Amino acid sequence: MQQQIQSMMERALSEVAQATDPDALEETRIEYLGRKGKLTSLLRGLGSMDAAERPAAGQALNRAKEAVKVAVDERVTSLLSAQDDAPLTIDLTLPGRASRPGSLHVLPQIIEEICEIFHGMGYSRAVGPEVELDEFNFAKLNFPDDHPSRDLQDTFYVNDAVVMRTQTSPVQLRYMQEHEPPLAIVSPGRVYRHEQIDASHAAEFYQIEGLFVDHDVSLADLKSTIHAFIHALFGEDKKLRFRPHFFPFTEPSVEVDLWWESDRKSGWLEIMGAGMVHPHVFANAGYDPDRYTGFAFGMGIDRIAMVRHGIPDIRLLYENDLRFLRQF
Ligand code: DAH
């Protein structure tokens, strides 16, 4: 028995010494010391031994197991430290994986640019709700209840009194109710209309509203402001045309056209509505119409983006196809 233990231990120690990686070593450990391992099963054989030989054999077996266990532990340590010293298998000189920085969508880019231009002329930025009271979107802007101009701006009704705003113009009223003149604001944001969707119509789009109120403001102030703005945005050489028009909340009202030349076509392009703030609107905001005068304007931001970048279809602005967006 002693001999058997001795030779089994020697075999175990030599296998441990030869193990070249931690996995192989673990297999060797299990082979000898595991629950069904070779040394472990010798231990079970002790029971059938002569009682006189048993203590000596038992001690020899325990020593053998201890020796193998110590050898395994030492070998694990040396294999692991050899692994740490192994040459690096990653190449630190390879270029990194580039992360693509995000960027602003083309619409907010234009919004920022427009607000920046007006900021330079002393305008600050105001915001208003997209879910708006009919009262602000229509009634207080001087649209009578059954007036046909409401049809042009049919929208989504939340209930009889609440609509998805069809225009940024209600911000004029909200701002005037909270502030005293003189004031100069621009207010960009989303608007909604019940539209048949096609290349130039969407049911959601962006507008930017402008409002200037003080004493003795004239149509000439409106025209010079719009000229200065368009020249800053599109270049000093751009030509504008002011056409008489009708809006319920301005009197007189105009539409502004921009002369645009591109490879495909050239002509007058309608870019905004504008006018002198109607006295009823001042009265509805709590201002004395005899004391104050002002002008307002509103334009479609999508249209400006499309003209600026030659975008042929408004739907491209809302599909969020990265191949499209990455161009800006
Ligand atoms: N809110 C008008 C629209 O959506 C645009 C507009 C016209 C705004 C004249 C104005 C304005 O402030 O004075 O069609």
Res 107: pLDDT = 97
One digit per residue, the tens of pLDDT, for the chain of length 328 reads: 778 888 888 998 888 888 888 888 889 989 988 888 888 888 888 888 888 888 888 888 888 889 889 988 888 888 888 777 777 788 888 898 888 888 999 999 999 999 999 999 999 999 999 999 999 999 999 998 888 777 777 888 999 899 999 999 999 999 999 999 999 999 999 999 998 999 999 999 999 999 999 999 999 999 999 999 999 999 999 999 999 999 999 999 999 999 998 887 899 999 999 999 999 999 999 999 999 999 999 999 999 999 999 999 999 999 999 999 999 9
Mutating to test ligand 1, I would choose from 249, 254, 255, 282 the residue with most ligand atoms within 8 A of its C-beta, which is 249
Asked whether residue 59 falls in the same domain as residue 119, the answer is: no
Asked whether residue 177 falls in the same domain as residue 316, the answer is: yes
Asked whether residue 111 falls in the same domain as residue 78, the answer is: no
Res 80: pLDDT = 84
β-bridge pairing 183-192 and 124-125: parallel
Instruction: Give domain status of residue 219, yes or no.
Output: yes
Q: Supply the residue whose CA is at minimum distance from atom 3 of ligand 1.
A: 167
Res 37: pLDDT = 87
Asked whether residue 138 falls in the same domain as residue 32, the answer is: no
Asked whether residue 64 falls in the same domain as residue 183, the answer is: no
pTM: 0.72
Instruction: Give domain status of residue 152, yes or no.
Output: yes
Start-to-end Cα distance in the chain: 85
What pLDDT digit, counting tens, does each position of 129-182 carry?
999 999 999 999 999 888 877 777 788 899 989 999 999 999 999 999 999 999
Mutating to test ligand 1, I would choose from 185, 226, 297, 299 the residue with most ligand atoms within 8 A of its C-beta, which is 297
Mutating to test ligand 1, I would choose from 142, 151, 169 the residue with most ligand atoms within 8 A of its C-beta, which is 169
User: Domains in the chain: how many in total?
Assistant: 2
Asked whether residue 68 falls in the same domain as residue 124, the answer is: no
Asked whether residue 223 falls in the same domain as residue 313, the answer is: yes
Span from the CA of 168 to the centroid of ligand 1 (angstroms): 8
Instruction: Give domain status of residue 255, yes or no.
Output: yes
Asked whether residue 41 falls in the same domain as residue 177, the answer is: no
Asked whether residue 163 falls in the same domain as residue 240, the answer is: yes
Q: Supply the residue whose CA is at minimum distance from atom 4 of ligand 1.
A: 167
Res 213: pLDDT = 98
What's the chain's Rg over C-alpha atoms?
42
Tell me the CATH number at 299. Answer: 3.30.930.10
- What is the extent of the structural domain holding 65? 2-85
Asked whether residue 162 falls in the same domain as residue 299, the answer is: yes
Res 265: pLDDT = 81
Asked whether residue 211 falls in the same domain as residue 318, the answer is: yes
Instruction: Give domain status of residue 93, yes or no.
Output: no
Asked whether residue 157 falls in the same domain as residue 247, the answer is: yes
Residues with CB under 6 A from ligand 1: 167, 169, 209, 247, 250, 273-275, 296-298
Res 145: pLDDT = 82
- Residue after which a domain boundary falls, among 30, 53, 85: 85
Instruction: Give domain status of residue 92, yes or no.
Output: no
Res 38: pLDDT = 87
- Residue after which a domain boundary falls, among 16, 51, 85: 85
